[in-house]
Amino acid sequence: MIISRRILHSQKGSYVRRLVLSLLFLPLCGLAHAEPLHGIAMHGQAALPSDYTHFNYVNPQVKKGGKIAYGVVGTFDSLNPFVLKGMRTTARGIWDPEYGNLFYESLMSRTSDEPFSLYGLLAESVEWDDARSFIQFNLNPKAHWHDGQPVTPEDVIFSFNLLQEKGRPPYNRRLDVVEKMEKVGDHSVRFTFNDKANRETPLIIALSSPILPKHATNPDTFEQTSLDIPVGSGPYKIKSIRPGEKIVYQRDPNYWGKNIPAKVGFDNYDEISVTYFLQDSTLFEAFKKGDVDVYPEGDSSHWARAYDFPAATNGDVIRETFQPSTPSGMLGFVFNTRRAIFADPKVREALSLAFDFEWMNKTLYGGVFKRTQSFWQNSGLGAFGNAADEREVALLGPAKDRLDPAILAGNYKMPVTDGSGADRKVLKQSVALLGEAGFTIKGGKMVDAAGKPLSFEVMTQNEGQEKMAIAYQRALSLIGVDMTIRTVDDAQYQSRSNSYDYDMIVKAYTSSLSPGAEQVYRWDSSSRDAQGTFNYAGAADPDIDRMIDALVNARSMEDFQAAVRAYDRLLVAGHYVVPLYHIGEQWVAHWKHIARPDKVPLYGYQLPVWWDARAQ
């Protein structure tokens, strides 16, 4: 805009001058103060209006009361999941995506019926700009800790600083992208981001870090394993603990947030218990007896054959199948590429080809599973079934030249065997690839140029994983590859997973409709050597890093989709995982006194909104 100095400074131009100056300053005012929002979304706007009363997959009329008993396999020796020592040995429920964050809370709450939208929790509203260069959280003045003290901006700042200094990944990395964190007024905190931040950063700050009480948290002992009962702000307090065996939560009748829209219909039990078992078979026996109320099922053969006990046949135990509208994810044998034996992608591809999925599916599971072909299969974000368009090809750049043309075309898939367990055609492909990598068969053993046998160990955690590993072991033995199996207890499994002390491991990667910063801790080069991340494969590929950066910074849905598809293609092309199966369903068995809403959200069933029918 060009304005004449004569007009601005003349008497006749006084009105024009005031008008022009107001127009010039208007954008600056907009940058200085954004309109408070009740909800935010990664792409577009949050779907629910500002006057929404509850999420649409809850029962707002449910009467709170009764109790529920959960059961898990493992043990616990800590109430702090935010430090490395307690990462996998913290009591369930403290900060828990499955049972709900019973004890600690985040600034905002995520709905399960939108790809990635957040609504007010500890923060009743937020402010940000279009560039997402900052986010300001306006705390709910009603929010208070279990001891009655208010939740303050000082608590928020303290929490992020403490986790930065003494927390485990990813909590200790949250402030890496923050230029400035400051108190604003009496009830607000503003995070201003640096050039390392991306468009997802404000949502991660809002959702994925706990807020801890400054007055009741000792920084000097924060890293220590402890079962001392802390102070939280969540809907439940800790009633009792039997170390390693059981934790019981009791609903706080004075919970500050019980009437805010994002919590209506949640936290419906007066008491929640979590009992620990050494193995899954013992847990299931407890479920059959009624000592555990809910049993999420992951084994198809068990689902088909194990529910012939009296309570299941007479209707006291109900079996339900849910069909979430989410991508397949990836369950598979994960190669630890930190090991020299798996450094060559050709070796990984060859060993992947040798796995006879059809034989395993038919023999062990009655043919109920579908082979997984990519990480975002069954969605518009997946590479499988979707050819790369111009936008995606441009994003890949030179990386496209190292991709199999079938991967770019969207029709690459693992070979379909004849189901015999010894398909010679497929095994020949595997042997040929190993030959290209410098291996030959001598004396019935696959050996390298120095005569060293190709052998490795897979670490398993339970009987189900061991069963799959035995099937894989059988297939590899046909081409002279020696795979041994080591099943370890839960504590050892957690410790070795944390330090990447394995050749191969069985892992499941969940895939949402809004992948984002969590991918850094799964596949980015920066997480390869940091203990306690989820980069089990040890991936370190600059092109994968670029795609992660692209997907978290995408402004439009079209750019986002292209970035995720390109990312999916690179993961498939890297052969980091021997793909196993998915079912596209969720199986849950529960006793009939545990009830749920009729509406099932986008991401499937949600245990935190179920209730005890005996209390109605």
The reported pLDDT for the residue numbered 118 is: 99
The reported pLDDT for the residue numbered 86 is: 73
| Residue 270 forms part of a structural domain | no
| Residue 513 forms part of a structural domain | yes
pLDDT at 393 over 70: yes
| Residue 516 forms part of a structural domain | yes
| Residue 440 forms part of a structural domain | yes
Confidence band of 345 (pLDDT split at 50, 70, 90): very high
pLDDT at 387 over 50: yes
Q: What is the pTM of this model?
A: 0.78
**Three-state secondary structure of 449-506:** CCCCECEEEEEECCHHHHHHHHHHHHHHHCCCCEEEEEECCHHHHHHHHHHCCCCEEE
pLDDT at 8 over 60: no
Confidence band of 15 (pLDDT split at 50, 70, 90): very low
CA-wise closest residue to 283 among 157, 275, 536, 304 = 275
Q: What is the mean pLDDT of residues 65-72?
A: 98
pLDDT in tens, 459-490: 999 888 999 999 999 999 999 999 999 999 88
The reported pLDDT for the residue numbered 456 is: 99
| Residue 294 forms part of a structural domain | no
Counted domains in the chain: 2
Q: What is the mean pLDDT of residues 499-513?
A: 96
pLDDT in tens, 225-275: 899 999 999 999 999 999 999 999 999 999 999 999 999 999 999 999 999
- Cross-strand partners of 242: 246
pLDDT in tens, 522-532: 999 999 999 88
pLDDT in tens, 395-445: 999 999 999 999 999 999 999 999 999 999 999 999 999 999 999 999 999
The reported pLDDT for the residue numbered 300 is: 80
CA distance 564 to 585: 23
CA distance 156 to 213: 8
CA distance 427 to 353: 7
Residue 512 sits in a domain whose CATH number is 3.10.105.10
The better pLDDT of the pair 245, 6 is held by 245
| Residue 224 forms part of a structural domain | no
CA distance 569 to 589: 36
| Residue 319 forms part of a structural domain | no
β-pairing verdict for 445-447 and 594-595: unpaired
- Residue 377: give the domain boundaries: 330-582
Copy the structure tokens of residue 569.
């293609």
The reported pLDDT for the residue numbered 564 is: 98
The reported pLDDT for the residue numbered 301 is: 80
Confidence band of 139 (pLDDT split at 50, 70, 90): very high
pLDDT at 517 over 80: yes
pLDDT in tens, 289-337: 999 999 999 888 899 899 999 999 999 999 999 999 899 999 999 999 9
Look over the chain and give the mean of its residue pLDDT values, rounded to a whole number: 93
| Residue 266 forms part of a structural domain | no
pLDDT at 115 over 90: yes
Instruction: Give 440's Cβ-side CA count (13 Å radius).
Output: 5
The reported pLDDT for the residue numbered 28 is: 39
